[in-house]
Structure 1
Amino acid sequence: MKIKRMPKRQMHGGIIRKLRKQKSRNGILDFSASMNPFPPHVEWRPEDCDLGDYPDDTYSDLKEAIGSVYSRDPDEITVGNGSVELIRIFAQVMAPPGTTAFIERSTFGEYAQSVRLAGGSVTDNPHERVNIRYLCNPNNPTGTLLTKHVIVNLLDTCREEGSSLFLDEAFIDLSDPKESLVNHRDPDLFILRSLTKAFSVPGIRFGFGFGDPELIEAIELTRPPWTVNRYAEIYTIEAIRHIPDLEESRRKIAIERDFLTKSIRSIGLAPHSSSANYILIDAGMNSSDLTSALLNEGILVRDCRSFGLPESIRVAVRSHEENRILIEALSICAP
């Protein structure tokens, strides 16, 4: 059997369940996963989900619900089993062998992973002529938020060079939705969204995206059938109605983010300015050493080596009391 050469597996967070299986790790606070610490309450009953039939693979009711909130037609909407599935499928459709994608050096690693798995190549030179440009806004892990105006200008660049823009807005509902391009229709634009972060439901595994109907049709054709299970479908139809409630989440997150930033700076570390529900910290030491030390204090943070930042960690913004515990642990473990 001859298997094609594969890229190395991408490092991710999301290891808290594995750690909690260890008897000595039951009391861990998870600052590695950047979820909404103040999610809206969603009324739904998993036990009422009708599991005796296959889901409708066109997901017409689900797309109608999403479209009613974002003022988009169902044929402009695709859905998937988490946003990562849509990242992979977009690359299959748009990044075959012979194509090149621009991807920033310090951003979500699944973009490059997906392009390479599809056969395309990757560059981090912004001046190189490419077929696709990937942008995460706000960026993960830096928390940098670009304005809508800047991104529209980038779309103009894409149009001039004949490329497409993949815009990941997974965290924008917890940052500043006014900078979203969700209402911007352009044949060269694909927008990725997620419920995972905003509603703090990583176990549901649901992502969705907006694009030109021709692109959406290609993505839907490539997506394996029935990948969105009935639990995720029913939950999303209810949760999507609570998007306006996220304004209160953003207000509370901003207060705690400011507290964390000032506290981190006061103990001699260097937090990046963030517009999201997480903060990148330049630790001035090996990130793995700091991560291990914090874990011994019952705190799990995101080691940013996989982002190409070997002396940085990323911490989520959580409740005030939990944030105070993080600062105490950092005071003990930081150089």
Structure 2
Amino acid sequence: MKLENMVRKVYPNLMPYVCQLADLPIEEMKQALGKEQVYKLSFNENPLGPSPKAVKAMQEALLQLNLYPSSTGDALLARIGDKEGVEAKNVILSNGADEMIILVAQTFLEPEDEVIIPEVSFVQYLASTHMMGAKPVFSPMKEDLGVDLDAIIERITPATKTVFLCNPNNPTGTVIPADELRAFLKRVPENVLVVIDEAYHEYADDPEYLSSVEFVKTYKNVFVIRTFSKIYSLAAARIGYGIGQEELIEAIHHVRPPFNVNSIAQAGALASLDDEQHVSESRRINQFGRKLLAELFDELGMKYLKSATNFVCVDTGRDSGYMFDQLAKHGVIVRNLAGYGMTTSLRVSIGQPEEMQAFAAAMREILEKEEK
């Protein structure tokens, strides 16, 4: 029997995750480039590393690898609830934010449903929509690449089931102003689920930003996604969570695998929430790195977007593929945004000062060679 007669009809729209250079672990990057030193600024990882408290808790949890983890992670749910001002029953754990997006799609999407996604946003929203055979409806961005909520409202039809928003947005780093989001939610029909991905919430220091956890308490159709991968630096542990009203949480539990978050990740996440010093230092390093990048891009005459995250989106004014390759020759790996139609733009993750200096030196050298 031919494979095309065995797989689901959505199969042609689904693509396996193929690691390019920017997606590789650092050691594999070094091998690919033949370099002893590589600066990975492509994955928005926290350069500080995990909290020592988290590492200690995870090491202790290793001694019980023979035991199955808590299926629901009640201790962590309660801790998150206390921190966010919600009940434990309003929280659900997942294997990273990616799985939470998938779980939402598996819970709510049918093939005839439409899903509205901003044109420049996290690719997992599109992948999960395709996985369920639903129809993606792309919404244009504002001229400044902010999320255009009015454009989303205009695209809502009786077939619309879900709207995905990323706030702050990846890969632009921009925030949706609180007053705009508040007005938007009042206009969205109650039968349309608004999923708001707040992966970069802890970095968001823009005064216009407001977490949508506040809206969860008012709207039954608002669901917030968070992760421990970014400021808590547990990307390899794969742990995220969602916050919503009890009915939404209960619905997602119907499709959630019973042991989707391992005990090591749960222990690390729980300890991370108790280490405010680590979070503060992560923010300090990030703010310093953003300042260095802003000064660099101003010096080079390059336009960049004001970021509320741990990365900066910059328009180099040159082919982004060319700039990516040139930086890679210097051992600096960033994210090429050509796949979003941003053919001259790069996304640069914030690293330690020495990583930012390496990036700056490489950029200056590339441009100096252009002038010769």
- Scaled by the length of structure 2, the TM-score of the pair is 0.83
CA RMSD, 1 decimal? 2.2
Equivalent of 2:39, from 29, 48, 60? 29
Distance 1:230 1:296 in 2: 40
**1:217 counterpart residue number:** 250
Distance 2:310 2:303 in 1: 17
Distance 2:211 2:161 in 1: 23
Distance 1:57 1:198 in 2: 25
Deviation (angstroms), 1:11: 6.7
**1:14 counterpart residue number:** 23
Structure 1 unaligned regions, length at least 5: none
**1:65 counterpart residue number:** 79
- Give the partner amino acid of 2:58: P
Distance 1:326 1:195 in 2: 26
**2:58 counterpart residue number:** 46
Runs of 4+ in 1 over 4 A off after TM superposition: 10-13
- Give the partner amino acid of 1:15: L
Equivalent of 1:181, from 165, 190, 212? 212
- Scaled by the length of structure 1, the TM-score of the pair is 0.92
Distance 2:127 2:259 in 1: 24
**2:148 counterpart residue number:** none
User: Which deviations, in whole Å up to 9, do the C-alpha atoms of 1:217-252 show, x marking residues without a partner?
Assistant: 121221122111111011011112235753443344
Equivalent of 2:334, from 280, 287, 301? 301
Note closer, same or farther for the CA distance 1:71–1:212 as it changes in structure 2 (3 Å cut): same
Summarize the alignment of residues 191-202 of structure 1 with structure 2, pairs less than 5 Å apart.
191-202=224-235
Note closer, same or farther for the CA distance 1:23–1:278 as it changes in structure 2 (3 Å cut): closer
Q: Secondary structure at the match of 2:322?
A: helix
Distance 1:116 1:269 in 2: 36
**1:250 counterpart residue number:** 283
Summarize the alignment of residues 130-209 of structure 1 with structure 2, pairs less than 5 Å apart.
130-159=160-189, 162-176=191-205, 179-184=210-215, 185=217, 186-209=219-242
User: Which deviations, in whole Å up to 9, do the C-alpha atoms of 1:119-175 show, x marking residues without a partner?
Assistant: 111112321113211111111111111232222222112136x31211000001011
**1:74 counterpart residue number:** 88
CA contact (8 A) 1:103 1:122 kept: yes
- Give the partner amino acid of 2:241: F
Structure 2 unaligned regions, length at least 5: 140-151
CA contact (8 A) 2:58 2:265 kept: no
Distance 2:49 2:178 in 1: 25
Distance 2:275 2:74 in 1: 20
**2:155 counterpart residue number:** 128
**2:312 counterpart residue number:** 279
Distance 1:324 1:264 in 2: 13
Deviation (angstroms), 1:214: 1.3
Note closer, same or farther for the CA distance 1:243–1:165 as it changes in structure 2 (3 Å cut): farther
